Structure 1
Amino acid sequence: MRWLLNIWRTLTKPAKYLTLGAVSLSAFLMGIIFWGGFNTALQATNTEEFCISCHGMESMPYQELQKTVHWSNHSGVRATCPDCHVPHEFGPKMARKLEASHDVYGWLFNTINTPEKYDEKRLEMASREWKRFDQNKSLACKNCHDYKSMKWDSMSKLAQKQMKRAAETDQSCIDCHKGIAHTLPNMGTARAPELIAEVGLGVTNLKVGQSYFSSLTKPLFLNENTDVEAGTLNIATKVKILEMKGNRAQIGIEGWRKKIGAGRVIYYDFGLNILSAQLTKDAALEKGVINTFEEKEDPMTGLIWQRVEADLWIEADYLLSDLQPLWDYARGTYNTSCSVCHTQPAPAHFDANTWPGMFQGMIAFVNMDQDTQALVQKYLQEHSSTFDKSAH
């Protein structure tokens, strides 16, 4: 400790022979040397060579990049790792460097040092980058690609229509161009990677007799063996596990259907057009699939509705024990995506049967996959004035 005290006394002792000018000049020169060293070190970490010095980066994403148009194209312009993943402005660049501490942790503990580990983490990593691109409207892309510089006449009519609409709202490139530089994650039956990354893959140990909620739109089957689909289970639908066999589960879907035709569509509740499941005609007419109970007449339409339970089979994945994460994701998506053109109405502004028509008119102006569309619409319906009387 004595040597530390001696250093401290030396540093705090007033200068006996140096002038204020000498001290100021020394400090100025030391500042230049420090800044030069800092900037040199910072730039060294902003090179492709530095990025691929990690085996996990060199052996997987770097190899994928070399197969894309960002690596080789007719213009000869190549995008490197920092071009897309490191902001150019100093402030955002420093924030990104702090975030990179997570990458250092992964390197130290070999989180993605094998192709198998990398593929397991691919969806998580991709979703994190997609979210970052979405937050800054794909600024890294727009450093090279500028809406104002695009040659519209060289595009197809469909591309012109989509790109001009995107240019009007300065839309984030990543909304439509995922997978353009790296291989898309293997999402299995998932068509909504951001949604699955947010809510998870679901419960892995389903229990007979327990109820769960579907986190995706899922195919239905008549038994545990067939691959012939008997219909679809809508997202955010409550199901009860009746039996488990291998990777399939027999479920009970409770709801109501209109007593007309084959009665293939099962709704959430009496008189409400909130979709729970849609069966094929053959499945709806199959004996033992649909059990009917009470009947009621809808005073608004004069149609007879039946309370039913449909017993069918699904793959035992993407089932959640709690509905709230789905609603949280739907609410956030609605608030961000549907406020691009104007202030969006509150969920309780319309009733459950009015929302589908209103929402379908909105989604023409945003980019949503079908599962997310179905989830947001269902969120709006189940939080509408039909259930929440506070708005009116």
Structure 2
Amino acid sequence: MKWLINLWRTLNRPARYLTLGTISISAFIMGVVFWGGFNTALEATNTEQFCISCHTMKDTPYKELQETVHWSNRSGVRATCPDCHVPHNWTQKMGVKVAAAKDIYGEIFGVIDTPEKYEKKRLEMASRVWKQFDKTNSQTCKNCHDYKSMNWDKMSPLAVKQMKQAAEKDQSCIDCHKGIAHHLPDMGTSRAPELIAQVGHGVSPVDGQEYYSALTKELFEGPTGDKDAGLLNIATEVKVLETQGDRVKISIEGWRKRIGAGRVIYKDFGVNILTAQLTKEAAKHEGTIRVFEDKQDPMTGLTWQRVEVDIWTNKNYLLQNPDMLWSYAKDTYNTACSVCHTQPAPAHFDANTWPGMFQGMLAFVNMDQDTTALVQKYLQEHSSTFDKSGHH
């Protein structure tokens, strides 16, 4: 302990030969050297080479990245690990670095050192990353992707509709784009519509069979070409009539109001449950819509027509039954809409009342467009209009 005491006395002894200026300059130089060394070491950990130096990272997430557009694309611009996972803001960057210590611990002690262990932890790790993206409003994404710089003319009509709505409220990218760079974890009943849609991604539709749309899908006038014919709403029942290449010709049964072009198709008479919205051109195209009967709604005085629509869409994302969609919608409604109050049961309101009630809740929750449409449709289709068990 004697040498330690002597060192302390030396450090506390006033300088006999150094001036205040010399001390100040020396301290400044030492500070610059320290800060430079610190930042050099910090930046060394912000490289792809450092990230994949752990075999777990190299063998799993790095390989998954190489399968995506962030790795190889027509512009030749590649996103590396730190581009997405390390914020530019210094405070946020340090927060991420501190949190990363848990990953280092996991690597050293073999928490995720096998594919089986990694998959078991994938949801936990992904959720932590998604939470970080939510905190920063996906700022690392927006370092490259700017809403104001997007060329709407080069997007599909469906993408334009969704992206413009996102741009209006500067929505976090991760709300809709989970799984954009790495495989999605098994999320159980917390699956989002795009995850459920993957179940139907590999389904080969059979002519004459009935299916349900797992996502909001684009409609086309024919088996080829990009001419927009409208949108098919999520969880809509369709019948496959014909398959050509990547598209199927489907039949949609429903009702429309006999006003204007009559291009909006609803699930049932007098019930405002959307199933499809056609363009004016598609609605007027001969052979697209067949009318079977007219019926007047005593509540509104409007005349409705029972119709059948024959139209084309992409053959992917069709499910054989809607059970997974309704399960996800029910869980989302019960959790997201119970934060502020006890939510009413679906059968508490009729199908035409629910849209207004549900839209009033959206200011207090965070849902992507397909989830919003799906939950509203779930409430409508399980409302008192169809569930005669009474109010709950």
TM > 0.5: yes
SS in 1 for 2:273: strand
Summarize deviations over 1:88-121 as a string: whole Å, max 9, x none. Answer: 9xxxx99xx99x56x613589xx9xxxxxxxxxx
Conservation of the 8 A alpha-carbon contact between 1:273 and 1:352? yes
**Equivalent of 1:184 in 180, 183, 186:** 180
Aligned residues: 283
Q: How many angstroms does 1:78 deviate by?
A: 4.1
Whether the aligned pair in 1 keeps the contact of 2:52 and 2:62 (CA below 8 Å) is no
Given that 2:255 and 2:307 are in contact with CA atoms closer than 8 Å, whether structure 1 keeps it comes out as yes
Aligned to 2:54: 52
Partner secondary structure for residue 342 of structure 2:
coil
Q: Deviations over 1:309-355 (max 9, x none)?
A: 00000011110001111000100111111112111111111000000
The residue type equivalent to 1:66 in the other structure is P
Check the 8 A contact 1:349/1:385 in 2, yes or no.
yes
Distance 1:213 1:76 in 2: 43
Q: 1:216 to 1:76 in 2, by over 3 A?
A: closer
Matches within 5 A, 1:60-75: 64-68=80-84, 70=86, 73-74=89-90
| Structure 1 residue corresponding to 2:192, chosen from 194, 207, 210 | 194
Q: CA distance change for structure 1 residues 75 and 133 in 2, over 3 Å: closer, same or farther? A: closer
Identity of aligned residues (%): 48
1:131-190 deviation line (CA, Å, top 9, x unaligned): 5678xxx4x789xx79xxxxxxxxxxxxxxxxxxxxxxxxxxxx94639xx983499xxx
For 1:67, the aligned partner's letter is: D
- Identify the residue that residue 228 of structure 2 maps to in structure 1: 229
Counterpart of 2:159 in structure 1 is none
Q: Is the 8 A contact 1:71 1:79 kept in 2?
A: no
Structure 2 CA distance for partners of 1:76 and 1:367, relative to 1, 3 Å: closer
Using the alignment, how far apart are the partners of 1:256 and 1:209 within structure 2? Answer: 21
Report SS of the residue matched to 1:196.
helix
Query: Does 1:213 find its partner at 2:209?
Result: no
TM-score, normalisation: structure 1: 0.62
Distance 1:73 1:132 in 2: 19
| 8 Å CA contact 2:212, 2:235 repeated in 1 | yes
Within a 5 Å distance, the mapping from 1:228-267 to structure 2 comes to 228-267=227-266
- Tell me the equivalent position of 1:8: none
SS of residue matched to 1:242: strand
What residue in structure 2 maps to residue 13 of structure 1?
A: none
Check conservation: 2:133, 2:174, Cα contact below 8 A: no
Quote the Cα distance in structure 2 between the aligned partners of 1:365 and 1:224: 41
Matches within 5 A, 1:299-378: 299-378=298-377
One-letter code of the match for 1:349?
H
- Would the alpha carbon gap of residues 81 and 332 (structure 1) be closer, same or farther in structure 2, given more than 3 Å must change? farther
Question: What's the counterpart of residue 295 of structure 1?
Answer: 294
Q: 1:58 to 1:263 in 2, by over 3 A?
A: closer
The code of the aligned residue for 2:279 comes to: T
Verify the 8 A CA contact 1:70 1:79 in the aligned structure 2. no
8 Å contact 1:257–1:265 — kept in the other structure?
Answer: yes
Distance of 2:83 and 2:129 partners within structure 1: 22
Aligned to 1:178, the other structure's residue is in SS state: helix
Tell me whether 1:104 sits opposite 2:114 in the alignment: yes
Segments of structure 2 that go 5 or more residues without pairing to the other structure are 1-49, 67-78, 137-170, 184-189
Q: Distance in 1 between matches of 2:101 and 2:345?
A: 36
Aligned to 1:268: 267
Q: How large is the RMSD of aligned CA atoms in angstroms?
A: 3.9
Confirm or deny: 8 A CA contact 1:295 1:307 kept in the other structure.
Answer: yes
Q: Which residue type is aligned with residue 104 of structure 1?
A: T
Cα distance in 2 between the residues matched to 1:299 and 1:212: 33
Contact 2:197–2:318 (CA under 8 A) maintained in structure 1: no
Residue ranges of structure 1 left out of the alignment (5+ in a row): 1-47, 112-123, 147-174
Question: Residues 270 and 305 of structure 1 are in contact (CA less than 8 Å); yes or no, is this contact kept in structure 2?
Answer: yes
Three-state SS of the structure 2 residue aligned to 1:375 is: helix
The alpha-carbon distance between structure 1 residues 375 and 51, as it changes in their structure 2 partners (threshold 3 A), is: farther
C-alpha spacing 1:125/1:352, structure 2 compared with 1 (3 Å) = farther
